[in-house]
Structures are given as structure tokens and as C-alpha cells.
Chains A and B, each alone.
Chain A
Amino acid sequence: MTCADVADLVDLIASGDLAADAAVSAHLSTCAACAQSLDTARRLEAVLRGRPAPAAPAQFTSRLVNRLRRANWRREQIVDGVFNGAMVLAALLVATGLWIALRHTGLPLASRDALDLVSAGLIAAAQKVTPSLPLYAGATGVLVVALGLWWWASDSPAL
């Protein structure tokens, strides 16, 4: 048994995965360097076993759930944005298609009449809605403040 042989076994013996047989024990009793290595390995093993296992902070789960909620909200916002963009694009395509169709079917007069009709309807609707505008503005303001408070509360790690 040589020092090189024992060097390969030192950590296994120190961790208890291997029992020192007679040959190893005999070598260790006569070789101070190998005995020192085994002693060092045993001390290292003891220190590693005694290494503290830090626990997760008390607020870990709640902070994680908040982060998850924010991530989900952002994802939903992206989905909403993409959906709204797609709807606007579709509306534009339909409008363009209609415009082209009207031009090619020779119905510009009819379309002008229809446009006048729609414009008149819009103006009448606007006149009806105008007196209630302050109420709508107030309701929108309350909604914006509520959304702001919700955003602040979900963003704040202390809550």
C-alpha cells in the first residue's frame, strides 16, 4: 500500500463510505503524512456537515405570489394589446375593402349619402351625450385613481 493508494481513499474513509481495511490501517499507522490527510479530511467532513442551511425569508411566499401576479398581469396586458392591435388592423382592412368596393361598383353617390346619414347620426348622438360629459369624466377619474392604487398596492413589497 502506497501513499498514492491511500490518498484516493482518504475522503471516502472520512465520510464513512468506506471502512479502512487492515492494509490501509497499517499504512496510516506508519505514515504521518497520510494520517494527517485523513485527519484533515475528517475535519472537513465535520465542518461540511455542520454547515448551516439558511431558511427562506418569512415573506418569501407572499413576495413570490405578488411577483407572479404582476407577471401574469403584464402577460395579460400584452395579450390585450396584441388583440386590440389585431382588431384595429382588421377594422382598417374592412374599411379599405369597403372603400375600394364602393369605388369600383360606381356607387360613390350612394356612399356619399350614407356618409351624410352616418355623420348626422353621430352629430345627434354627440349633442345628446354632451350634457353628461362631466359625469363621464368624473367616473373615468375615479377608475384611474382606483387602478393606480391597485397597481401601487400590488407593487409595494410591504403590502
Chain B
Amino acid sequence: MEPVHERELVDRCRRQEPGAFEDLVNQFKHLVFALITRTVSDPSRAEDLAQDVFLRIHRGLPYFRGDARLSTWIYRIVINVCTEDGGRARPSVSLDDPDSRVPAPSVVDRRFSDLELHDRLEKAIRQLPVQYRLLIAGHYLEGVRYEDLADAMHLPLGTVKTQLHRAKRQLRQILEGELK
């Protein structure tokens, strides 16, 4: 979304124009929902958390000065909500639970099910710290500007890239057995 349109949307919301906040929600709901679903330990809570994000946006709009882009501010709220949720007890995740166990790579060939690989990837991602999960979620999500994520995390772009690199390396190590 262009900054000019963002500004316009924020102004409409501040003037409490009918339907303005709904427009804002419709504009960002899929991004926010996808980011949260990909980041939190318990995806069944994603809708509640996404709603929390928009409630905070609604409360904060009168104080939003527009120094940062609207999307950056929204990502910052998503980060806060996910980080707070990360403080809750995480469901224990094991890549080796009986339901998802895969025979040793030496035994099977590489044509194992994509579905199973995705499932194991999700479990592996949940083992990463929240910040890494958010980076992985945002980086591979269409429509998320990487610079906005860096701004939202108050980190230089270079640092964010390094962290993403580390996150992928950790993921690779966790999944090493499955991907060989």
C-alpha cells in the first residue's frame, strides 16, 4: 500500500468515518493473520491474537503520528503480540514423536511426502526463538516489505539479514535428517 493511501486511511479512521476502520482491517487482515499463524506456537489462537492486534491498532490510531509507515507500526504490534504470546507455555513439540517419525534417510529415498515435510518444517520452526520465527514468517510472505520488518524490530537491515541467515541455518540443522 502506498504511503499516501496509508495516510488517507489513517485520517479517515481518525475522523471516525463509517467503514474506515473496516477498510483498514480488510487491507491488512490477511497479512497479519498469516504472520501470526506462521509465528505463534499454537496456530488455533491465531484469530484471537490477530483480533488483539487490530484492537490495539484501534486504540492507538489517535496517537499514531505517522512518523513510521502504517504497515511498520502494524508489524511492530504483531511482534509485540507474538512476543507476549511466546511467554506462554509452549506446547511440547518433538520432531520424533511417533506420529511423525520418518525412517532414516539411508533407508528411504528422497521422495518422501511433501505434506509430511511441511508438517515437520512447521514443528521445526516452532523450536526457533520468536524473533527468528517472525523473520522467517515475514521474509517468505508476499506483500511484507523486508525493510518494514527491520524498522518494526528496531534493527538495521544488515542485522535482520544476519538473523535470518542464522535462523535458516538452525532450521537446516534441525531438519538435516529429513532433507538429505
Q: Which residues of A sit under 8 angstroms from B54, Cβ to Cβ?
A: 64
- A52 CA to B66 CA in the complex, in Å? 32
- A54 CA to B114 CA in the complex, in Å? 17
Size bracket of the B interface: 35 or more
Query: Closest chain A residue to B171 by CB distance?
Result: A44
- A140 CA to B12 CA in the complex, in Å? 39
Q: Which residues of B sit under 8 angstroms from A54, Cβ to Cβ?
A: 33-34, 37-38, 43, 46
Residues A49 and B140 in contact, CB atoms below 8 Å apart: yes
Chain A nearest CB, measured from B18 CB (Å):
11
Q: Which residues of B sit under 8 angstroms from A63, Cβ to Cβ?
A: 47, 51
Q: Which residues of A sit under 8 angstroms from B175, Cβ to Cβ?
A: 40, 44
Residues B118 and A64 in contact, CB atoms below 8 Å apart: no
Q: Which residues of B sit under 8 angstroms from A4, Cβ to Cβ?
A: none
Q: How many A-B residue pairs have CB under 8 A?
A: 85
A12 in contact (CB, < 8 A): yes
- A51 CA to B142 CA in the complex, in Å? 11
Q: Which residues of B sit under 8 angstroms from A48, Cβ to Cβ?
A: 121, 136, 140, 168
- By secondary structure, the A interface counts as helix
Contact A57/B47 with A44-B171, A49-B140, A51-B118 known, Cβ cut-off 8 Å: yes
Interface size on A, residues (CB 8 A): 30
- Give 1 or 0 for each of B3-21: 1 = CB within 8 Å of chain A CB: 0000000000000000001
Contact A43/B47 with A51-B121, A53-B142 known, Cβ cut-off 8 Å: no
State which of A41, A51, A52, A71 has its C-beta within 8 Å of the C-beta of B168: A41
- A55 CA to B32 CA in the complex, in Å? 9
Residues A36 and B180 in contact, CB atoms below 8 Å apart: yes
Residues B51 and A53 in contact, CB atoms below 8 Å apart: no
- A113 CA to B1 CA in the complex, in Å? 75
Residues B169 and A67 in contact, CB atoms below 8 Å apart: no
Q: Which residues of A sit under 8 angstroms from B141, Cβ to Cβ?
A: 53
Stretch at the interface among B22-30, B71-79, B84-92: B22-30
- A47 CA to B118 CA in the complex, in Å? 7
B residues adjacent to A (C-beta < 8 A)? 21-22, 25-26, 29-30, 32-34, 37-38, 43, 46-47, 50-51, 54-55, 58, 114, 117-118, 121, 136, 140-142, 161, 165, 168-169, 171-172, 175-176, 179-180
